[in-house]
Amino acid sequence: MRTVIVRLPAAAYPIAIDPGLLLKSGAYLRTLTRASSVFVITDSNVGARFLAALSESLRKAGFRVAAHTVPAGENFKTLDQVGHIYDKLIGGTIDRQSIVIALGGGVIGDMTGFAAATVLRGVAFVQIPTSLLSMVDASVGGKTGINHPLGKNLIGAFHQPIAVLIDPQTLQTLPEHELRGGLAECIKHDIIRDAEHFSLLETSIDRALALDMTYLADLVAHNVAIKARVVEADPFERGERAHLNFGHTFGHAIENVSRFSLTHGQSVALGMVAASRTARRLGMLDELSERRIIALIFAAGLPTGGLTLDTDAVMQTMFLDKKVQSGKIRFVLPDRIGHVVIRDDLPSELVREALVSLKG
């Protein structure tokens, strides 16, 4: 078992990574808590595959188990669905000693975390991510949230889990496009923090796509460690943690305007291409590095062009992003592979050119 500890001022929590961990989740959690009851939130896809096995493991460890299933998909990450979760939690006589478990991808983690942060003014929360994207990104760091008709993740809270349990074997049932979407976040982490591992990923990304379990466990552990160290340094995104938004200023707007027909990973991939091209146009990033970034995104089977969305609509949506401060859009741009900087002084025409370049 690989374990990464996230150390924050208020508390520390483990991120455990081990093939087969889902079936041992109950025993693992029993070492961390004396809670008697757990409430599992999952979606209709993940629940059909893994809820029964998780529930059995939890019951064997002495937990009382209740569960609620929500419809699968980003379109359901809404206040209305969180209201249904509140109804089930409160109607199920949850108390402050109960644990809420998120079993699923990033949507479930975001919604469940937000519900746990707000019901009874906050209850304990465990992440069991089942997609590569949620394993390496969404489950780490305590960001929770839901979408609003005007934008993605505009309603939310910080609420750290007491543990994250990652079983790479759950990726065996993941649709290939979702696996590729998770690789977008892996590429992002290396661009912002680890040039050496970026070079390794250039020669080994096929092993991830082939579902090599040993490789995937190592890849997840590497990415979790990167994000954990960033979160430790900046738990509430007041500085360095904003580096994790590389590709997301463009990406969130693209995802929202597409009405989620483009996945988060696909949108972030396009966002990283746009940000890298912008950095190149500004003279910040050399041509070879720009080419390597775009080539690795392409090798992961992610889009690097072909965008058909209205450019004006995407630009307007960018101004509704959480990352806008004092009316200025903050962009995270690479000045070399392994390092990024934050800029809020980009001419709108340069931003437009980057978006137009994605249509090619």
Angle at 256 between CA 339 and CA 180, to 5 degrees: 55
Task: Name every residue whose Cβ is closer than 8 Å to that of residue 112 and which is 6 or more positions away in sequence.
Answer: 41, 85, 100, 101, 102, 125, 144
359 catalytic per annotation: no
Catalytic residue among 189, 241, 323, 330: 241
248 catalytic per annotation: yes
Question: Would you call 34 exposed, middle or buried from its count of C-beta atoms within 10 A (0-12, 13-18, 19+)?
Answer: exposed
Most distant pair of Cα atoms in the chain: their distance: 60
30 catalytic per annotation: no
Catalytic residue among 143, 189, 197, 330: 143
Catalytic residue among 88, 180, 227, 277: 227
185 catalytic per annotation: yes
Catalytic residue among 252, 280, 323, 330: 252
256 catalytic per annotation: no
Tell me the backbone φ, ψ of residue 93, rounded to 5 degrees.
Answer: 55, 45
Q: What token pair was written down for 99?
A: 């644990």
Catalytic residue among 180, 248, 323, 330: 248
Task: Name every residue whose Cβ is closer than 8 Å to that of residue 326 and which is 6 or more positions away in sequence.
Answer: none
264 catalytic per annotation: yes
Catalytic residue among 74, 237, 255, 290: 237
Catalytic residue among 147, 153, 245, 256: 245
Of 289, 290, 281, 269, the residue nearest 353 (C-alpha): 281
Catalytic residue among 264, 280, 323, 330: 264
Task: Name every residue whose Cβ is closer than 8 Å to that of residue 228 and which is 6 or more positions away in sequence.
Answer: 4, 5, 6, 15, 140, 141
Angle at 216 between CA 184 and CA 304, to 5 degrees: 20
193 catalytic per annotation: no
Tell me the backbone φ, ψ of residue 66, rounded to 5 degrees.
Answer: -125, 160
74 catalytic per annotation: no
Conformational region of residue 296, where left means phi above 0, alpha means psi within -120 to 50, and beta covers everything else: alpha
Just list the catalytic residues.
Answer: 121, 143, 185, 227, 237, 241, 245, 248, 252, 264
